[in-house]
Chains A and B, each alone.
Chain A
Amino acid sequence: MTTDAADAAPSNPPNSSTEATGATGRLEQTNPDYDPNVVIEAQNLTKVYRDFWGRQKVRALNALDLEVRKGEIFGLLGPNGSGKSTTIKLLLGLLFPTSGRAVVLGENATNVAKNERIGYLPEESYLYKFLNAEETLDFYGRLFDMPAKVRRERVQALIEQVGLGKAKRRQLKEYSKGMTRRIGLAQALINDPELILLDEPTSGLDPLGTREMKDMILKLRDEGKTIVMCSHLLADVQDVCDRVAILFQGDLKEMGRVDSLLKVSGETQIRSQDLPESAHAEIRKIIEQHGGTNITIENPTTTLEELFLGIVRDSEARPGMRSAPADKSS
């Protein structure tokens, strides 16, 4: 295994830690049709769940065709039971497709070797609760065949990165939901993966944790990693994803770039600062002159998330009772 280290994928980001690369090794790519820019390729991917007698229970995924390209954040959207988690499990080889095929990093999804370059954060952080953070990361590091020295450095770096420095010796059973998600993310990053699969990454996190998670995802993308996440929290997906696929009852309903999918054609939005109220009538007049229909002219509102994060940041900077803000409407 370690001899494969020399065959590191050329697409590795320049700042990928050399220790981790050397430690985990990279597999030789044997697929001649492998396009290094296509990280995930699903063709006609179908999954039918059957009962003990082989009778069909549910068709969880129906002929999914999908392509995820290197360096993008790809979101799988859909309500519960739409097939998001099934898709992730098929890509990871946790489930076998009923028909069709899934190719991950040029390898068949059931091939264990591909896991050298993958990080996975499950929906719940399915970790061993009797281990502490250091033991957990050390254990997963061993699974990547990392030498002890490299493992120790990587474990400490990740613990600091996810902000668990003070709790690194506490058993995971004592962790809050947010801390569990963070250690879950750390274990997914232990091998400095090229592809990261995140199943409901912000599930159960408070707004601050959610923001941190989203920032982390964006940072990983900036480091050149490819991220596939599934979520039913649409705002989160909208914030971070470059492209999304929307699934419903196992069928792919829509796929494309987030900005193009959300673009409302036929409407124009103008935002301006310090514009007096008297100008509103004039603007309405101009719109009517050009044959447009005026829908609304009003002060925009911020998001609740932005408000909350602003308060938290302000409180951290100036502890104590916060003075009530002036009523802007008065």
Chain B
Amino acid sequence: MVREEFPQFLEWFGPGILLLLGVLAVGALLGLFFGYLVAAFRHGPFEAFYVVSQVVAEAVPDFLQTSPRRVLAMAGLAIKEALRRRVVLVTFVIFALSILFGGWFMDSGSDKPEQIYINFVMWGTQMLVLLMGLLISAFSLPEDIKNKTIYTIVTKPVRSTEIVLGRILGFGFLGTVLLALMGIISFFFIWRNLDHKHMIDGPSQTVAAFVEIDSETMKSTISGKRVSPNAISEATTTIDNGHAHRLEIYQDIRSGDDEALQTGDIVETIKRDDGKVTYHRARCMPVGGHTHKVTVSGTGASATVSLGPAIGYFRARQPIYSDELAFYDRDGVKDDKGINVGKEWGYRGYVDGGSRGNLSTLSRAKFSFTNFDASRFPDADFAPLEVNLGVFRSTKGDIEERVTGGLRFESVPENPDVENRYISEIVEFETAEYTVQTLPVPKKLVGRIVAPDGSLVEEGEYDLFSDFAGSNGKLELSLSCRDVNQYLGCARPDVYFRGKDQPFWWNFFKGYVGIWCQMMIIIAMGVALSTFLSTPLVMMGVIAIMIVGFNTSFIQNLAKVDEQGNLLNEFGGGPIASFVRILTQQNVMQDLETGVFNTVIAQADYLAINSMKLLTYLAPDFRQLNFSNYLVYGFAVDDQQLLIAVAVTSAFLLGLVLCGYFCLKTREIAK
């Protein structure tokens, strides 16, 4: 998953309000213009002025005199009506059946089972709720008009605002209740299916079940792969939920016997002659992104080892991203994009490891962090760094070996001409491709202090937070490739510190708020369109807007043009040109022959695509309101994003209520 940039709410709010006012002003002008045209057609040009001004004059009192009691009455009616139609019930039954039997088709033993489960419930809920919102809103008002039940409503002192608002609120309430119910059930469904425990596989649940690891090969007899560098013995667990874990007992050598180090995973404590203490600790190796807490009771070979519930499935990581990423080539020259390794995903830039046996010392990717503060991390001893790197191996490298990367931390003085700099030693690590690695960066780093003129001031162990980032909260992290002839690829979102996780349930709730926002817009859109369109047209209209809303960036990319006005997309032009290519079996890379026919096609395509592009500015960008991927990939939905989503939803609701009001107000209810 690639997290996209989003502004802070307060930065966004000012321009957002201006945009909303601008859209409302343009909408009002267009409404007046078209309203006048229709009125002039029906009543003549002079009478039309009176008609339009009367509508405008009545609008203000209509809004001011909107009665909460009437709105609630209309909302109550909408709820009863929707329940009577049984759309909500059918939606819930489909959801319940999916939950009951969906588990049969999901592999809890797969690599990332939580992604499958969360994706299933989020996508299923989203589709069902949006479809329900569309159906109840599209049928309501047209049915009332068709059955003439609306006659007994509009002949009471009910404003059009109250009819539109009441319906939106009524259906919204029903959708909210349904969504809450689905959310709670989904939460327990995921929890129930992923939560599991393991036992040690073997006759004994004690340390005696562990077998020693060959200290020369350091390879596991269970998996055949290399074990952790400090592992001394291993065991395996029973297969539960389709997988088993490898357990390791490893050595943890510490300088002293600190009480904070006395955790429940210690098998044995050995005090050494040099004053240091060696702890033998048991740990559960992760599988598919989760592990289990290991608890040891007793000491030595007879100590009992037990495993707790799964840890790591239910994450809501809060990444602390760098503000800037810059690449430097092997000559130390700054470059924005890094090395292009050829036909690869252009998202990442690559860092050169050097060539001809010489390790490149200047080639690196530099990440600049701000507001780097210990309070943002859960553990003061470590700052977890998560990296998801791409590796490009040249033919001269050893394909069997993991590529080594290096991390170096530097302080960023406000005034580099007078202030010293902290520079750490390079911390090496083995890269793992196609997965997110967590590297615990210790609080104390070995490094040096360098004076502004480059001379060494002091060498020693310095604090990551108070020394490196202490003065101004700024920190630079340089990523280098420590293997000659190899390349490490990264983009700005690939390297981040993992701050304090948010509670999973809270993040889950925020994901559902995203679905709620989408549902409310669909309901409001359905109600607004149903004030002047029949049910089939409302459904077609809302579905069309949904398609545009879910594919905003795709459509905007389709409409990109070069300086000559030619479409730049990689699909061979617009819909008509593509159709011609299919008929004439021409590939999309080749330009169509020049001529009158193709020029007409190109111009028609240009118009069609730009009309669609125009729609993208009117339709809500549903991706902005969709947080499913955050939940699926275990990232916390930022509060700022949530605020923006709610504000965007409110703006659309306001616009759609206004639109619905004027459409209902200016139409004849009777035929």
Contact = CB atoms under 8 A, between A and B. Distances in A.
Contacts of B69: 142, 145
B262 interface: no
Give the dominant DSSP class at A's interface: loop
Contact of B153 (A95, A98, A113, A143): A143
B155 A126 contact: no
Given A1-B65, A98-B42, A93 B154 contact: yes
Nearest to B152: A126
A124 B152 CA distance: 11
Interface in B70-86: 70, 72-73, 76-77, 80-81, 84
A258 interface: no
A204 B473 CA distance: 84
Contacts, number: 86
Contact of A118 (B67, B76, B151, B155): B155
Given A128-B149, A130-B80, A143 B158 contact: yes
Contacts of A18: none
A213 B32 CA distance: 47
Interface in B129-149: 147-149
Interface in B5-48: 41-43
Contacts of A326: none
Interface in A61-117: 89, 92-96, 98-99, 108, 110-113, 115-116
B159 interface: yes
A140 interface: yes
Interface in A141-192: 142-145, 187, 191
Give the dominant DSSP class at B's interface: helix
B527 to A, nearest CB: 18
Contact of A112 (B76, B157, B670): B157
A110 B69 CA distance: 22
Contact of A111 (B58, B81, B669): B58
A143 B151 contact: no
A128 B144 CA distance: 9
B265 interface: no
Nearest to A120: B155
A112 B155 CA distance: 8
Contacts of A95: 668-670
A221 B150 CA distance: 27
B669 to A, nearest CB: 5
Interface residues of A, number: 35
Given A94-B670, A143-B156, A130 B62 contact: no
A143 B84 contact: no
A162 to B, nearest CB: 16
A142 B150 CA distance: 15
Contacts of A191: 156
B77 A128 contact: yes
A130 B84 contact: yes
Nearest to B72: A142
Contacts of A115: 155-158
B155 A140 contact: no
Nearest to B71: A142
Nearest to A151: B69
B22 to A, nearest CB: 31
A118 B149 CA distance: 17
Interface in A13-30: 24
Contacts of B61: 113
Given A89-B670, A130-B81, A144 B148 contact: no
Interface string B95-135: 00000000000000000000000000000000000000000
A30 to B, nearest CB: 11
B149 A96 contact: no
Contacts of A54: 41-42
A54 B149 CA distance: 27
Contact of A127 (B152, B155, B669): B152
Contacts of A92: 154-155
B156 A131 contact: no
B271 to A, nearest CB: 79
A164 B155 CA distance: 23
Contacts of A144: 156-157
Interface in B158-188: 158-159
A103 B626 CA distance: 52
A1 to B, nearest CB: 6
Contacts of B81: 128, 130
Contacts of B76: 139
A142 B70 contact: yes
A122 interface: yes
Nearest to B38: A54
B155 A94 contact: yes
A27 B616 CA distance: 45
Given A93-B154, A95-B668, A96-B668, A145 B159 contact: no
A142 B73 contact: yes
Identify which of A93, A94, A131 gathers the most chain B CB atoms within 10 Å of its CB: A94
Contacts of B148: 122, 124, 126
B43 A99 contact: yes
Identify which of B69, B84, B154 gathers the most chain A CB atoms within 10 Å of its CB: B69
Given A98-B42, A112-B159, A130-B81, A140 B670 contact: no
Nearest to A136: B152
Contacts of A118: 155
A20 B72 CA distance: 20
Contact of A143 (B73, B147, B150): B73
Contacts of B151: 94, 120, 122, 126
Contact of B669 (A24, A94, A128, A131): A94
B668 A94 contact: yes
A124 B70 CA distance: 24
A76 B69 CA distance: 36
Contacts of A1: 65, 67
A139 B159 CA distance: 15
Contacts of B62: 112
A145 B67 CA distance: 7
B58 A94 contact: no
A98 B43 CA distance: 7
Nearest to B149: A126
A11 to B, nearest CB: 19
Nearest to B160: A112
A185 to B, nearest CB: 12
Identify which of B54, B72, B157 gathers the most chain A CB atoms within 10 Å of its CB: B157
The 6 A-B pairs with the shortest beta carbon distances in the complex, nearest first, are A142-B73, A94-B670, A143-B156, A126-B148, A120-B155, A115-B157
Given A127-B149, A128-B80, A143-B157, 15 more contacts: A54-B42, A94-B668, A94-B669, A95-B668, A95-B670, A112-B154, A120-B151, A122-B152, A126-B148, A128-B81, A130-B81, A131-B80, A142-B70, A143-B156, A143-B158
14 contacts: A111-B58, A112-B58, A112-B157, A113-B61, A124-B148, A128-B80, A128-B149, A139-B73, A139-B77, A140-B156, A143-B73, A143-B158, A145-B69, A191-B156
Interface of B: 41-43, 54, 58, 61-62, 65, 67, 69-70, 72-73, 76-77, 80-81, 84, 147-159, 668-670
